[in-house]
Every structure is written in C-alpha cells, then in structure tokens.
A and B are shown apart, each in its own frame.
Chain A
Amino acid sequence: MRPYAVRRGALATLAAAIVGAGAVTGCGAPGVPGSGGPDANPGAAVTEDQALRVAERVLTQDAKLRSGQPDPGSALASTYAGEGLVAAKAAVQLIAAGVQGKSTGTVRDVKVLTTSRGTGYPRYILAASAADTGTLPVVHLLVATKPDTPYRLTLSAQLLPGAQISAFPSRDDGAEVVSDSGDLAIKPADLLTSYARGLAAKQPDPPYDSDTFAEQVLSRAEAAKTAVAAQADFTQSFQVRQDPVVAFRQLNGDTLVLGAIERVSDYAIKPGQQMQPTPIFSALVPGRSVLVQQVRTQVSQFVVFTVPAQGKARLVAATEQVSGASGY
C-alpha cells in the first residue's frame, strides 16, 4: 500500500503544479506573448470613420457631377462602377443638355448603413443620404474591387414611401455578403430575374409583393404602346445586369438584395411612318431630326429588395435613369 500512497501523493503534487502553472501564467490568456492570434471572424474591412469618409467623398463627387459641373477628365470613371457608370455617363450628358434636372452639388446627411464583412475583395459600403428632391432618403452602394481601386458608386435608389430597411449587424462586425449558395428563400439573381419578368408582364404568384414601381412601369408601357400604335410597334424587354448584384444579411435574418435591371424600349417604325425624337433622345443621339426606321431607348433601373427568411420579397427602393438611346 505504501508505494501506491507515495505515488498518489506525488501525482497529485505534479498535477497541482502543472494546473497551477497553467492557470497562473495563463496558457493562451490575453496578453501573454504569442497569444494574439487571428480571429476567425475578421469583422468589417473598414472602420466606421473610414467608411463615412469614403462615402462622403464619393457621394460629394456624385453630387458635383450631377450639378452640371464639367467632368475634369476621368472623374466619371473614378466615381462610378458597373451599371452606375453607364447611368451616370448618360445622366451627365442629359444634365449638360438641360433635359434632366441638376443636383444642388452638395450631399446631405450621409450615413453608413453597413459595410461588407471580411477583408477580401470586392468590398462594399452601403450608405444613405438625403435626396435632392422629396423627403425620402437615397440608398447608395459603393464598391471597391481591388486594393488599388478606390470605392466607386455602383447603385443609388430612392426609398419608396412607407418602406423601411431593417438594422444590420454592428459596424465592427460588418454585414455578411450573401452569395447565391446561401440559405436564402430565393437567390438574389433569381429574384431580380423574376422581377424583370414581372416588369415585362404580370406574373402569376411572383416571389415578391406587388409594388407601385412595377405598376408604373407596366402602365407606362401600355400608354406608350397605345400612343405610338399608328406609327410603330412598341416592345419592351428587361435584362438583369450582372454588376451589381449584391445581398447583405440583416440583423433580423432578412436579406437586403440590390441590383440593376436594364429596360430596353424598341419602337419599330412602320413603313411610311416617322417619329420625332424626344429631347432626351436628341441629347443622347444628336443630329437626328426625324426617325424613320427604329428607335431604342435604354433605362437603368436600380432596385433594392428586402427578402425575409420566410415569405415574399418586398421592393424597398427603386430609381431609374435613362442610360442610352439609338435610332435612325
């Protein structure tokens, strides 16, 4: 019995010393040299101040360009990206021609709603600002595609009356950018495709609630078709643009989906008929006094949806901008 008793006592002392040393010196405890390893969740890629500074810079430049100030060279390309650049180029042209309203040149009440989580690229900043007209704020999506490329504006859409955007995780955490493989009720690209189909013609049981924006697009198409029936065959098509399509996970589990849909309106002018170009058409395609064969206009439609974990998606913000025209 004695050797076992001796061994038990020594083992207890040994164990106590090891545990004591570990506890007191803190194996991996905060502060111990070598304890500062990386965190599994990298959080947001930008600080709150940094995100606000970037948003103010980009939105101020956007406001200046929309105020009719001449583009000092490459300002458009360094301010806008994706479909935002397509729309901005046309907007600047239309503003310069005096057929589209100017911005005041300043931006007010810039707020950062969230930033994308993780340090990889592309990185996003979702911001909001007061609108030039009306009381509803405008939602902006800024994107940085590479470390050497500054953030650029890729989408702006005005909040619809009565719509709300739910809160996002804390600024330090950043919002998870949800990919198509996420656990979504409907994938972002599928939602936008379905909405694009619904803009062309009402769909049975769409995955989104009806909204005034879609109703207006449909009714205006009907009105245009009727107005030009004697001179031209009118058709309209809708195409989801690949850039941007972004979805952020919100704090309550909902997802905010942002994207752009191009609306193409074609007028096939009937033989012997002719159409007068509109001021907008003339601003984009100067030198055409009469159109005799076909007319095409493109409009960039920027849309923002809230997609709940259960139930139908809801359009919360939308804005459109004439982005191109052609015809002869």
Chain B
Amino acid sequence: MPAARRPSWVSLAAFALGAPVLILGLIYAIALGPSGRVEASARVAAPGVVVIGEDAVRASSTPVHVLVRSASAGQVTGVRMLDGDAHASLEASRHASLDGVSFLPRALRVTASGDGPLPRAMNRDTFLADPMTADRVELDVTPGRMPQALLIYPGEPGSPRDDAVDVTMTWSNAAWFWQAVALALAGAALLVAGVWSHRRRLRASGPNREDRDPAGATEVPDASGAGADR
C-alpha cells in the first residue's frame, strides 16, 4: 500500500480510542438501563458473620442501599461501625469480608478469614448507631469521610447463630445511564473523526478520483501529441 493511502496516526488514534470507548459506553448503558441502577449480591456461607468493608461501601460516592437476609429466613443483626473497629472486633472470629465490588459482573468480592466464634459481647462504644435486628436488615449508607463498615451476623445481639446470609448492595443514579450514553456517543464521534480524517487524506493524495479538483486534472494529449506535460 502506498504510504499516502495508509491511515495517518491521527486516524489510527481515533480508531484505537473510539472503538473501546464506544463499546464501553454501550456496555454500561445496556447494563445500567435507563434507571442507572447497579445491584451486586453475594451469598455468604455459615456462620454468616460479614463485614461489608469501607472499600465496598465507598465503591461509589453515591449512597448505597444494603439488604441482608438470612438464608433460613431468621433474624439478622446489622451494626454500623468504623471499618477498623469492625475488623478488629472480628479478628479472632470466623467471618467474611466484602471488600470490593465488580460493577459489570455485578459481584461482591468475598474473603473469608479468622477462626472461632463471634464474641457474645462487643464494645458498644464502637457502634456508630444502635444495632438493627430484623428479618431483613436494610440500611442506606452515604459514604462520607468516616471509613464506615457494616457488621452483620445472623441472630440477635448477644445470641448469634450460624446461618448463611444473602447480601445485596444497590446503587442508583439515573445520571449514570446518560453518562454511559454520552461515553458511547463520544466513542462514535472519535470513530467518525478517524474515518473523516482518513478520507480527507485519501482525497488529498490519491489519483483518478471523480471528486478530484478539476484544476489539478490530468490533461488528455491532443491528436498532434503536443501539449503533453512530459
């Protein structure tokens, strides 16, 4: 291929950037839907003691809605604590940590650690609010400066029991959908810019194009052979 017909680096950059941006934008727009809702969930095996850590709570600066249910439909207790305090209070207990969120696969990263039972009495001074006990614990947590975490276990305060729990975290922000659409449009714009740039380059350098500038057209030799440009 002649060098002049090859895409310029500008076109290549536009293709290279535009295609993934378009694909990413489309994936996010389809995954989020017009409501801009992301829901990630995980089942934590017995004993069901879980710390939803600050990395999961702060996965977005949008408030997160946390729903926890016991797998056997019993009561569940949720306590808001500082992340460090929650982990410290469970240091010697078998528990799972939800320490991250994968938004596209809609999954929560679960890490099991510790050994031993949940302490019957915890230091209530580390509770940011009174514990909540119900069949389904629902909490809205607004990520702030405090590195907040949620400590969850099946059973009532002082009498925990072993059971699996289902944790669902939901973030909602309608603007996310439009942001994803905008991202896709920006990717498409980059692709169009790349195509346009390449076509201009071809027009500027290629011979025998119908749309070539007449002023630069090759002259047809006359019958006498005179007038040829060489």
Question: Per a CB cutoff under 8 Å, which of A14, A47, A119 touches B10?
Answer: A14
Q: Main secondary structure on chain B at its contact with chain A?
A: helix
Q: Are B128 and A50 in contact (CB under 8 A)?
A: yes
- Looking at B44-52, B66-74, B152-160, B192-200, the stretch in contact with chain A turns out to be B192-200
Q: Are A36 and B129 in contact (CB under 8 A)?
A: no
Chain B, range 109-143, C-beta contacts under 8 Å to A: 123-129, 143
Query: CB of B35 within 8 A of chain A?
Result: no
Using Cβ atoms and an 8 Å threshold, which residues of chain A touch B193? 10, 13-14, 17
Supply 10 A–B pairs (Cβ within 8 Å), ascending by A: A10-B193, A17-B189, A20-B182, A24-B179, A31-B176, A32-B179, A33-B59, A147-B123, A147-B126, A148-B123
- Looking at A1-9, A91-99, A215-223, A308-316, the stretch in contact with chain B turns out to be A1-9
Q: Are B200 and A6 in contact (CB under 8 A)?
A: yes
Q: Are B183 and A24 in contact (CB under 8 A)?
A: yes
| Nearest 5 interchain pairs by C-beta | A21-B186, A10-B197, A36-B58, A147-B88, A24-B182
Using Cβ atoms and an 8 Å threshold, which residues of chain B touch A43? 144-146
Q: Are B123 and A31 in contact (CB under 8 A)?
A: no
In the complex, A54 Cα to B88 Cα: how many Å?
19
Using Cβ atoms and an 8 Å threshold, which residues of chain A touch B61? 30-32, 35-36
Size band of the A side of the interface? 35 or more
Using Cβ atoms and an 8 Å threshold, which residues of chain A touch B85? 119, 147
Query: CB of B217 within 8 A of chain A?
Result: no
Chain A, range 16-54, C-beta contacts under 8 Å to B: 16-18, 20-21, 24-26, 30-39, 41-47, 49-50, 54
Using Cβ atoms and an 8 Å threshold, which residues of chain B touch A26? 179
Decide: A18 near B17, CB < 8 A? Known: A33-B103, A39-B145, A148-B88: yes
Size band of the B side of the interface? 35 or more
In the complex, A6 Cα to B7 Cα: how many Å?
12
Using CB atoms, name the residue of chain A closest to B104. Answer: A33
In the complex, A36 Cα to B196 Cα: how many Å?
39
Contact with B along A116-149 (1 / 0, CB 8 A): 0001000000000000000000000000100111
In the complex, A16 Cα to B18 Cα: how many Å?
12
Q: Are A7 and B58 in contact (CB under 8 A)?
A: no
Using Cβ atoms and an 8 Å threshold, which residues of chain A touch B14? 10, 13-14, 17
CB distance from B89 to the nearest CB of A (A): 6
Query: CB of A253 within 8 A of chain B?
Result: no
Query: CB of A150 within 8 A of chain B?
Result: yes
Query: CB of A234 within 8 A of chain B?
Result: no
In the complex, A34 Cα to B83 Cα: how many Å?
18
Query: CB of A151 within 8 A of chain B?
Result: yes
Query: CB of B38 within 8 A of chain A?
Result: yes
Q: Are A41 and B201 in contact (CB under 8 A)?
A: no
Question: Per a CB cutoff under 8 Å, which of B10, B171, B187 touches A10?
Answer: B10
Using Cβ atoms and an 8 Å threshold, which residues of chain A touch B179? 24-26, 32
Query: CB of A11 within 8 A of chain B?
Result: yes
CB distance from B172 to the nearest CB of A (A): 10
Query: CB of A172 within 8 A of chain B?
Result: yes
Given A10-B10, A50-B127, 5 extra CB contacts under 8 A: A17-B18, A34-B103, A45-B146, A50-B129, A119-B82
Question: Per a CB cutoff under 8 Å, which of B58, B101, B183 touches A21?
Answer: B183
Using CB atoms, name the residue of chain A closest to B186. Answer: A21
Using Cβ atoms and an 8 Å threshold, which residues of chain A touch B57? 36
CB distance from A119 to the nearest CB of B (A): 5
